[in-house]
Structure 1
Amino acid sequence: MNRKRLQKLTDTLTKNSKHFNKFEVKRLIKLFYTLVGETTERPGSVTGLDRNAFRNILHTTFGMTDDMIMDRVFRGFDKDNDGSVNVSEWVHGLSLFLRGSLEEKMKYCFEVFDLNGDGFISKEEMFHMLKNSLLKQPSEEDPDEGIKDLVEITLKKMDHDHDGKLSFADYEKAVREETLLLEAFGPCLPDPKSQMEFEAQVFKDSNEFQDVTS
């Protein structure tokens, strides 16, 4: 990408970015094109990160291992549903992913957990996600029973209107009372250590701002 285009893209995306400054946006754009270059056979043939490339980044950079959750995070980034994350979706998505306010993160996590997009997290969805993220250790009892119990306990704690499913209002109220419930159904945000390492690596040397346009 030539200097002029990079500058223009940086300006546009910085305007729309709540949580990154111009230097950081430029760094993220450069990282994006490096990653895209690594995943495509023919340079310039693809303009985004497909599902596999993106999941690979979630796994290697942010330590995510849950297939279902990684898939949902990909959908959260891929706003236009075209099957790949383009550069503006990348910057916008990372803005929330790394530095979003509690409000933004609640909305994002709720969308990740609402598997069928109907505006509620149902018992079945909770069961799927918890089963997916908890079945790591073999045990004597029927694991499904334990997970059903966990779903009931979670509902008891979070379902404020007692309709047997979680609306966003239920979820928001529960998370405001107990922030740990933000990721109640699976890790869909980077852990603080991965986040710090990523930012330290990508945003290092902000004093060399003059040189990054080259």
Structure 2
Amino acid sequence: MSAMSKKMIQNLAETLSKQVKHFNKTETQCLIRLYNALLGDQTERKVGHGLDRGKFRNILHNTFGLTDDMIMDRVFRAFDKDNDSYISVKEWLEGLAVFLRGTLDEKIKYCFDVYDLNGDGYISREEMFHMLKNSLIRQPTEEDPDEGIKDLVEITLKKMDYDHDSRLSCDDFEKAVRDENLLLEAFGTCLPDAKSIQAFEQQAFQVTRFAGAMTHKYEQTLF
């Protein structure tokens, strides 16, 4: 995607703000500008494709503090809905809408999609093992650290597997999270914390906030 003119960004924001939840038109415009800047900063990018995996992973790591390579790859795939290995401007906005401001329902679906490594609609024992193995710190004194992870998988299944079929369906996952919200990120951090969200939004929407403050000040002088 080549650099967009101001008019193109405004027109695109007008269209996409009606299609994407949680952002108003001005915020949408700010996020499109940021996307455009990131594209311009992308090395060896192919014109017309979108944001590549490397650049997106840098954002996840440096801006939102995600550290697990497997999880970051899965987050990329959750954003990349058409699975073409690039994030389009619409995918960027739709992904951020859930990532930053999603409802519990939206976050449950997003987290489940991230954790369902092979995309078959279930989180299996093997998938849990791989994710927990990545996220846990091993003790050098442990004779077989994998045994501890296997035990943790069994404990997790006992708590979350409502239909007792030895795997988690989306329905199992949703019920478990609704009973205990802390289980939303049971298999690894795939959402930003409140501090990271606030910092990102302040930077991305600073023009929006300034404009809003000026409008409020102007309105006050009228009454």
Asked if Structure 1 and Structure 2 have the same fold, meaning a TM-score greater than 0.5 normalized by the shorter chain, the answer is yes
Q: Distance in 2 between matches of 1:90 and 1:124?
A: 30
Q: Distance in 1 between matches of 2:82 and 2:106?
A: 19
Q: 1:27 to 1:133 in 2, by over 3 A?
A: same
2:27 counterpart residue number? 24
1:8 counterpart residue number? 11
Contact conserved, 2:132 with 2:187, CA < 8 A, in 1?
A: yes
Contact conserved, 2:30 with 2:205, CA < 8 A, in 1?
A: yes
2:66 counterpart residue number? 64
The count of residues paired between Structure 1 and Structure 2 equals: 209
Contact conserved, 2:139 with 2:145, CA < 8 A, in 1?
A: no
Q: Distance in 2 between matches of 1:168 and 1:147?
A: 22
Alpha-carbon RMSD: 1.7
CA radius of gyration, larger in: 2
1:127 counterpart residue number? 129
Quote how far apart the aligned CAs of 1:40 are: 3.0
2:88 counterpart residue number? 86
Q: Distance in 2 between matches of 1:136 and 1:193?
A: 28
* 1:146 maps onto 2:144 in alignment: no
Quote how far apart the aligned CAs of 1:3 are: 2.4
Contact conserved, 1:40 with 1:46, CA < 8 A, in 2?
A: no
* TM-score (ref. length: structure 1): 0.93
Contact conserved, 2:111 with 2:184, CA < 8 A, in 1?
A: yes
SS in 2 for 1:39: coil
Q: 1:110 to 1:5 in 2, by over 3 A?
A: same
1:111 counterpart residue number? 113
Give 5+ residue unaligned stretches, structure 2: 213-223
2:184 counterpart residue number? 182
Q: Distance in 2 between matches of 1:54 and 1:4?
A: 26
Q: Distance in 2 between matches of 1:6 and 1:205?
A: 15
Q: Distance in 2 between matches of 1:98 and 1:139?
A: 40
* TM-score (ref. length: structure 2): 0.89
SS in 1 for 2:82: coil
Quote how far apart the aligned CAs of 1:133 are: 1.0
Q: Distance in 2 between matches of 1:90 and 1:99?
A: 13
Cα deviation digits, residues 158-209 of structure 1 (max 9, x gap): 0011111101111100000000000000001111111111111111142337
1:202 counterpart residue number? 204
Q: Distance in 1 between matches of 2:177 and 2:200?
A: 26
SS in 1 for 2:63: helix
Quote how far apart the aligned CAs of 1:138 are: 3.3
Quote how far apart the aligned CAs of 1:140 are: 2.4
Contact conserved, 2:78 with 2:110, CA < 8 A, in 1?
A: yes
SS in 2 for 1:161: coil
Q: Which letter does structure 1 place at the counterpart of 2:167?
A: K
SS in 2 for 1:62: coil
Q: Distance in 1 between matches of 2:53 and 2:193?
A: 21
Q: Which letter does structure 2 place at the counterpart of 1:109?
A: C
What's the % identity of the aligned pairs?
Answer: 66
Quote how far apart the aligned CAs of 1:5 are: 1.1
Cα deviation digits, residues 74-122 of structure 1 (max 9, x gap): 0000011111111111011000100000000000100110111111100
SS in 2 for 1:154: helix
Q: 1:118 to 1:41 in 2, by over 3 A?
A: closer
Give 5+ residue unaligned stretches, structure 1: 210-214
